[in-house]
């Protein structure tokens, strides 16, 4: 019944859950089709063939969703009583959309007054349903920011590009989060070799595209490395050319974060002006070093500067020791590193040239290698997991007495009569 402003809902929706109950195959298929909508990349949707009574039964065994969608063929006193019962089974703040048979303004107003977020008349097409869901979710939850993770090396040669690519592959393939990866090294980027693509653009061109807000052009610059991983295929820049304009970088980041829940940036060869922009707004900064004295000394100074940049807080700032075992007796013992660094080490990554360099030379993603995949899952993903705050890792429940459901306002009106 409501008009939807498609401009304000053309954003990546927040991590959330939706339950759909319908006995109409056309509606069920419309809901299934939303899996292809980029806005729903981090929305967990469960679709059930059933009615409001089936929804009531399900709420006795599972946590409340953020949004409940119920389709009915009749809207009478029996249905509204069931709707009230369902509301009592849901956590406070749960939104509800009803799909019904009648285009009746008075009915629409009555349902809205009861606390229902929206009423849709069937048949329901996928674009209409998707837009109304998006509008409801934004109104109820707001637009939560995607996560920006920056990788930076204490010195050259510590494997930052390999680590950032490994985490991007792990987040997309193992954690199944839609991810964007890009390198701010310009012509010095090696992602084209490691992930098997030819650069289709320069970093300077990507900046101009962002400055002019050319979304279609940006899409053409993205290489799809897998179902959920896209890489900004820059790298065609002159290696000895002039530095790019840093001003549009924030807009480029914004354009990527609107569409991707996770954006990972390799800063290992980036100019200082670009580094500072990313570091100032990154949700997490991962500093890489090797277990050698020169690298650790630089890492200690870098960690101190980054902490100062973040207002004296070390939250979201992690140290990873890479290539452990490569330098043999020349390495600082593992037990002494944290003492010398005066901070904990988030992960120690063993040196394995066959695993890392072999996969890179073959342009094969690390998650396609059994041993590399296991290493990523065990050591690297826990480092970024706390920052990504992936939906569904906790099942938060409240007692029945604390629940007031999506129709709390209506119930209060009834009790006052």
pLDDT tens per residue, range 298-324: 999 999 999 988 878 888 999 999 999
Cis preceding linkage at 323, omega within 30: no
Q: Find the mean pLDDT for residues 226-249.
A: 84
CB count in 10 Å sphere of residue 125: 12
Phi, psi of 243 (to 5 degrees): -65, 150
Q: Are 319 and 205 members of one domain? A: yes
The answer to whether residues 111 and 28 belong to one domain is yes
Distance CA(133)–CA(118), nearest Å, equals 9
Q: Are 372 and 350 in contact (CB under 8 A)?
A: no
Q: Which of 28-32, 221-225, 244-248, 258-262 has the highest mean pLDDT?
A: 28-32
Q: Are 91 and 66 in contact (CB under 8 A)?
A: no
Question: What pLDDT is recorded for position 417?
Answer: 39
| DSSP run (H or E) holding 128 | helix 126-141
Average pLDDT over residues 118-134: 92
Query: Distance between CA atoms of 103 and 100, rounded to whole angstroms?
Result: 8
Place 4 in a pLDDT band, splitting at 50, 70 and 90: low
The tokens 């059933």 sit on which residue? Answer: 50
Q: Are residues 183 and 225 in the same domain?
A: yes
- Give residue 267's domain range: 147-368
Q: Report the run of H or E that residue 230 belongs to, with start and end.
A: strand 229-232
Does 36 reside within a domain? yes
CB 37 within 8 A of CB 130: yes
Q: List, in sequence order, every residue forming a beta bridge with 174; answer none if it has no partner.
A: none
Residue 384 in tokens: 């970024």
Count of CA atoms in the C-beta half-sphere (13 A) of 259: 19
The β-bridge partners of 266 are: 151, 183
Report the chain's mean pLDDT, rounded to a whole number: 85
Backbone angles phi, psi at 232, to 5 degrees: -70, 110
* pLDDT digits 0-9 by tens, 33-84: 998 888 888 889 999 999 999 999 998 888 889 999 999 998 888 898 999 8
Same domain, 231 and 250: yes
Residues 180 and 319 grouped into a single domain: yes
The whole-number average pLDDT for the span 181-188 is: 88
| pLDDT score of 9 more than 70 | no
User: Are residues 318 and 229 located together in one domain of the fold?
Assistant: yes
Lowest mean pLDDT among 23-27, 86-90, 301-305, 315-319: 86-90
User: Does residue 100 sit within a domain?
Assistant: yes
What one-character DSSP code corresponds to residue 92?
Answer: T
Residues 35 and 68 in one domain: yes
Identify whether 322 is part of a domain: yes
Same domain, residue pair 216 and 356: yes
* pLDDT tens per residue across span 340-380: 888 899 999 999 877 777 666 777 788 888 888 999 999 99
Cα-based distances in Å from 122 to 19, 96, 361: 18, 16, 54
Whether residue 196 is found in the same domain as residue 60: no
Quote the number of domains for the chain.
2
User: What is the model's pTM?
Assistant: 0.68
What pLDDT score does 397 carry? 28
Identify which of 160-169, 227-236, 302-311, 397-406 has the greatest average pLDDT: 160-169
Do 290 and 156 sit in the same domain of this protein?
Answer: yes
DSSP state, 345? -
pLDDT value at position 143?
Answer: 64
Per-residue model confidence (pLDDT) at position 369: 87
For residue 215, which of 177, 179, 251 has the smallest C-alpha distance?
Answer: 251
């Amino acid at each position: 019944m409501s008009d939807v402003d498609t401009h304000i809902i053309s954003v990546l929706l927040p991590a959330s859950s939706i339950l759909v109950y319908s006995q109409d195959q056309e509606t069920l298929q419309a809901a299934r089709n939303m899996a292809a909508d980029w806005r729903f990349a981090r929305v967990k949707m469960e679709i059930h063939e059933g009615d409001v009574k089936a929804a009531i039964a399900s709420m006795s065994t599972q946590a409340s969703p953020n949004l409940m969608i119920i389709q009915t063929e009749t809207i009478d006193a029996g249905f509204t009583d069931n709707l009230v019962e369902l509301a009592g089974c849901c956590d406070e703040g749960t939104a509800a959309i009803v799909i019904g048979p009648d285009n009746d303004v008075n009915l629409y107003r009555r349902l809205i007054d009861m606390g229902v977020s929206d009423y849709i008349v069937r048949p329901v097409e996928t674009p209409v349903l998707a837009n109304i869901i998006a509008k409801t979710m934004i109104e109820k939850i707001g637009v939560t920011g995607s996560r920006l993770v920056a990788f930076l090396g204490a010195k050259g040669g510590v494997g930052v590009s390999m680590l950032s690519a490994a985490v991007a592959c792990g987040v997309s393939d193992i954690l199944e989060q839609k991810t964007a990866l890009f390198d701010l090294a310009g012509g010095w980027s090696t992602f084209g070799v490691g992930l098997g693509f030819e650069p289709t653009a320069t970093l300077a061109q990507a900046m101009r595209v962002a400055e002019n807000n050319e979304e279609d052009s940006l899409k053409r610059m993205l290489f799809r490395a897998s179902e959920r991983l896209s890489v900004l295929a820059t790298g065609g820049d002159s290696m000895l050319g002039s530095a790019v304009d840093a001003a549009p970088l924030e807009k480029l980041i914004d354009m990527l974060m609107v569409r991707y829940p996770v954006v990972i940036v390799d800063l290992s060869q980036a100019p200082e002006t670009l580094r500072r922009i990313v570091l100032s707004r990154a949700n997490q900064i991962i500093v890489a070093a090797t277990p050698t004295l020169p690298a650790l000394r630089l890492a200690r100074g870098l960690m101190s500067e980054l902490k100062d940049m973040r207002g004296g807080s070390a939250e979201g700032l992690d140290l990873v020791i890479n290539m452990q075992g490569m330098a043999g007796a020349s390495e600082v013992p593992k037990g002494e590193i944290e003492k010398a660094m005066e901070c904990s080490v988030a992960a120690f990554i063993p040196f394995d040239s066959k695993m890392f360099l072999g996969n890179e030379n073959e342009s094969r993603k690390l998650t396609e290698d059994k041993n590399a995949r296991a290493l990523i899952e065990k050591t690297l993903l826990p480092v970024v997991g706390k920052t990504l705050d992936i939906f569904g890792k906790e099942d938060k429940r409240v007692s029945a007495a604390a629940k007031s459901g999506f129709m709390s306002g209506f119930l209060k009106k009834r009790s006052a009569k």
